[in-house]
Structure 1
Amino acid sequence: MNDVSVPIIPKSGRKTIITGAALGSVIEYFDITMYTFLLVYFAPLFFPSTNATASTLAAVATLGVAYVVRPFGAVMWGWLGDKKGRRFVLTATVVLMGIATLGMGLLPTYETIGFAAPVLLVLLRLFQGLSAAGEGVSASTFVVESAPAHRRGTFGGIVPGSVIFGQALGALTAAGFAFSLTTEQMSEFGWRIPFLISAPLTLVVIYLRKRMEDSPEFLAIEKSHDVAPSPISEMLRFHWRPFLKLVTVTVAVNAPSFVAMAFVVGYLITTRHIPSADVYLILGIAMLCAALLALIAGSLADRYGRRPVAIFGIVGLIVTAVPILVIVRDSESLVLIAVAMIALLGFYAIPGSIVYVLMAEWFPTKVRMTGSAVGLNVGVAISGGLAPYITLQTTIWTGSDIAPAYWIVAASVAALAILLFSRETKNTLLAR
């Protein structure tokens, strides 16, 4: 039964939806990104060793926990989103992230509670990964399903823009602390502050999201009793093609982001010996530009179509990846390095924004959360989980510090093939 009409959301209701979705995504990705930037300070406190490098490597291993768990979290959140509603997942993910992040800020160290400290830290990081597996997808699904048909791209670009903005705030916050506190102060108490300040903001997001009605598309299938009995099996049986397309495109659009944060940042600090505060500042500025481009890309997708805008960004990555890494390797100018990072993350943000719209348009309403969550997070797990290994191995095999650019190009070529042979979805109705 698909004859139930979709209710129209008034402008005031859309403002609440956009605010709740955007602010939640900013806070969630600020939280999960801060862990990456701060672990160099708290690593010895939870993984004590006579060798500082060993402590840091042990802490770095916990980064992978958040990516390994994401596909499993995606299955859970996708099922809940398609069975219980988008708002339920939106609220649950931000509550889980808030608990995990506050817990990190208050967590006693190894010196106080012994082996329980690293175990609890890993567990909290796992909770962060579970939350992230559902946050961006549920927020974008909710926003796109609530948007007027002719503005789905504009609305859809708000969530990826907010995600990148949250990451930018993480980088800029790390830069601010690196400028204002000594290494000893950061290790003693400074690393806890960013985790703690997000707690009251999380409460604001919970309040906003509890006030929202569920998306009109979900309410329509719920009213018509057309909710899928088993969203995951129905998605894999009847919608496996868009699922594989989403995985491939997600790997590509995330490759430059992970290269920037997993390779370029470490390379500039450890090999080029550029002060960490300067590197974080460059990354933060580049991400702010990328967040703006994500919003612009969504708007352009409503005007010119999803495919042309996404293809422009993908081609940009293919053409510029190698020159950008050459600048990172050779340039003595921080301004030129900053421009290179803005280009890398800017070209990433353009197709990255469109993906959040496409995944809503590629799957029907009753399996939209499952298809989007599992496809996106499998792609993120592949890209994020393999990025450190691939960048390291390609550098070793080739003996070249620009080898990570080849990973970006290879992934982008695969995504380009997908987009070239995909139909335009700009003027189509969302499938029920």
Structure 2
Amino acid sequence: MSSTPSHATAAAATRLERGQVRLTLSTVGLGTFIEWFEYASYAYLATTIAQVFFPSTDPGIALMQTFGVFALSFLVRPIGGLFWGHFGDKIGPKRTLTLTIVGMGLATFTIGVLPGYATIGLAAPILLLAARMLQSFCAAGEYSGAAVLLAEHAPAHKRARWVSTVPIATSAGFLGASVMASLLNGLLPEEAVQEWGWRIPFLAAAVLTIVVRWIRRRVSDSPVREQMEKEEAVATAPLFELIRNHWPSMLRMLFIMAVNASGYYLVLTYMATYIEVELGLTAFQSSLILSLALVLYLPLIFVGAWLSDTFGRRRLLLINAIGFILLSYPAFVLLGQSGFLGVLLIQISLVALFSLNDSTFAVYFVEAVPPQVRLSGFAIPFNFGNAIFGGTAPFIATWLISVTDNSYSPAFLIMGLSLLGLVALILQGDSYDPKAAREQAAREEQEQLAAS
């Protein structure tokens, strides 16, 4: 078992130069953007991908098969979480991010050039699934590694704002994918989108991964990591140490992740298909609604992070969970009775509510465990939660509508997962003290002035 380093937070370590701060934030953010741009592109173009890889006389069956691949690819997220968490704690978040971006680029490029069912038959959906699984495996380390690296660079009283770079980049990836889908569906004939247009987002993302891989070589590792290596306090068996000492917290964090996962994959992803298929709006209108909502969502994440730094983490997470429990069903009922403008306003309301969770959960997870097992402590509940509650959500929502013939049924899925997260939040507590963080920041500033 490793010992705790004398400087367990970035506050006690040497600060980055301003140029290095910008480099770290931009490269970490860009890698996260690419990850979720590809994921969202798959969801927003699901009806087209269904026609290319899963031809069927029943469009509903083809769509379920497409979301089935989406769900199956998440089966490797727990494996990736275990792998990248364990080795990430041993080699550090910087090296982890260097490796994950390479695998993501390879998988994304493969999807972009993959022939459809009409060309290679059954091999097409099999290869699609394999590429999605490789992408998911690498993505399992990308988000968690990015959050840990930024948190360990950040001053304590601004940690949520620094870490909010990750969810902001994630949402920017959703926005970029939504804008791309809007342009493809609005500017190209349907036949062109189905034949080659849908490949553009994946090929563009693959090119970006090369750029990020080159830039990330210049990013420094976190001060916390450097201090642990200096004091030889790096965990030798981080996964074993995490399970032995922190398994109750990991279990609660898994259930807390249910709220975030359902928000991402139902409110920010599946909703594009729901608006088109269940509400009868066009693909262009659906993409436009998601794009406009996400434009407003990005600054709301930073506002939520500021609130988190000011008032604490758990309070915002509780408000979000309770809000989903109380408002999801009325929102879906109103969606079914609204036109374009009404759907847009409801979608904006849902993403605004979700921003309280998305701005806070990552830093909440980082602070839940000590530095030696921090990447494992984040990656495992994050990826298991995404696999169990997130990757399956669009498929389950589509299935619920099919078996119940009730277009409001996805609301019950959101409500149930939010209730699960609410109970876990009540039991988990909050390890962040805003007043103590501000006092610590004041002491650091005095020490830096004295040193200069």
Select the residue among 220, 227, 239 that pairs with 2:246: 239
Change (3 A) 1:13 1:161: same
Map 1:197-236 to 2 at 5 A: 197-236=204-243
Mean Cα displacement is larger for which, 196-205 or 2-11?
A: 2-11
In the alignment, does 2:92 pair up with 1:85?
Answer: yes
Query: Deviations along 1:400-424, whole A, 9 cap, x unmatched?
Result: 4323222222322332333344034
Select the residue among 324, 334, 352 that pairs with 2:340: 334
Match of 1:372 in 2: 378
Map 1:3-18 to 2 at 5 A: 3=6, 6-18=13-25
Mean Cα displacement is larger for which, 230-239 or 100-109?
A: 100-109
- CA offset at residue 115 of structure 1? 4.1
Select the residue among 158, 162, 165 that pairs with 2:165: 158
Match of 1:361 in 2: 367
Q: Which amino acid aligns with 1:359?
A: F
In the alignment, is the contact (CA less than 8 A) between 1:247 and 1:378 conserved in 2? yes
In the alignment, is the contact (CA less than 8 A) between 1:64 and 1:385 conserved in 2? yes
- CA offset at residue 211 of structure 1? 0.8
In the alignment, does 2:300 pair up with 1:293?
Answer: yes
- CA offset at residue 426 of structure 1? 3.4
Match of 1:266 in 2: 273
> Per the alignment, in what secondary structure is the counterpart of residue 81 of structure 2?
helix
Q: Which amino acid aligns with 2:388?
A: I
TM-score, scaled to structure 2: 0.88
Match of 1:139 in 2: 146
In the alignment, is the contact (CA less than 8 A) between 1:157 and 1:299 conserved in 2? no
Q: Which amino acid aligns with 2:378?
A: S
Mean Cα displacement is larger for which, 134-143 or 240-249?
A: 240-249
In the alignment, is the contact (CA less than 8 A) between 1:90 and 1:138 conserved in 2? yes
Q: Which amino acid aligns with 2:332?
A: L
Q: Which amino acid aligns with 1:198?
A: A
> Per the alignment, in what secondary structure is the counterpart of residue 330 of structure 1?
coil
In the alignment, is the contact (CA less than 8 A) between 1:264 and 1:328 conserved in 2? no
> Per the alignment, in what secondary structure is the counterpart of residue 432 of structure 2?
coil
In the alignment, is the contact (CA less than 8 A) between 2:43 and 2:270 conserved in 1? no
> Per the alignment, in what secondary structure is the counterpart of residue 213 of structure 1?
coil
- CA offset at residue 346 of structure 1? 1.7
- CA offset at residue 22 of structure 1? 0.9
Select the residue among 283, 290, 294 that pairs with 2:290: 283
Identity %: 31
Query: Deviations along 1:234-276, whole A, 9 cap, x unmatched?
Result: 1111011221121111101222332235654333222322101
- State the alpha-carbon separation in 2 of the partners of residues 250 and 291 from structure 1: 20
In the alignment, does 2:411 pair up with 1:408?
Answer: no
Match of 1:352 in 2: 358
Query: Deviations along 1:284-310, whole A, 9 cap, x unmatched?
Result: 222232222111111121112212222
In the alignment, does 2:83 pair up with 1:76?
Answer: yes
- CA offset at residue 425 of structure 1? 0.8
In the alignment, is the contact (CA less than 8 A) between 1:110 and 1:118 conserved in 2? yes
Match of 2:257 in 1: 250
- State the alpha-carbon separation in 1 of the partners of residues 123 and 414 from structure 2: 39
TM-score, scaled to structure 1: 0.92
In the alignment, is the contact (CA less than 8 A) between 2:84 and 2:141 conserved in 1? yes
In the alignment, is the contact (CA less than 8 A) between 1:254 and 1:348 conserved in 2? no
Select the residue among 171, 178, 187 that pairs with 1:180: 187
In the alignment, is the contact (CA less than 8 A) between 2:84 and 2:379 conserved in 1? yes
Change (3 A) 1:70 1:409: same
- CA offset at residue 189 of structure 1? 1.3
Q: Which amino acid aligns with 1:275?
A: T
**Unmatched tracts of structure 2, length 5 or more:** 441-452
Match of 1:94 in 2: 101
In the alignment, is the contact (CA less than 8 A) between 2:258 and 2:420 conserved in 1? no
Q: Which amino acid aligns with 2:169?
A: S
Match of 1:106 in 2: 113
Change (3 A) 1:34 1:398: closer
- CA offset at residue 54 of structure 1? 4.7
In the alignment, is the contact (CA less than 8 A) between 1:81 and 1:89 conserved in 2? yes
Change (3 A) 1:103 1:348: same
- State the alpha-carbon separation in 1 of the partners of residues 169 and 253 from structure 2: 20
Mean Cα displacement is larger for which, 387-396 or 36-45?
A: 387-396
Map 1:43-62 to 2 at 5 A: 43-49=50-56, 54-62=61-69
Q: Which amino acid aligns with 1:368?
A: R
In the alignment, is the contact (CA less than 8 A) between 2:273 and 2:286 conserved in 1? no
Mean Cα displacement is larger for which, 89-98 or 306-315?
A: 306-315
Q: Which amino acid aligns with 1:101?
A: T
Match of 2:31 in 1: 24
Q: Which amino acid aligns with 2:256?
A: V
Match of 2:175 in 1: 168
- CA offset at residue 136 of structure 1? 1.1
Q: Which amino acid aligns with 1:150?
A: H
- CA offset at residue 192 of structure 1? 1.3
Match of 2:432 in 1: 425
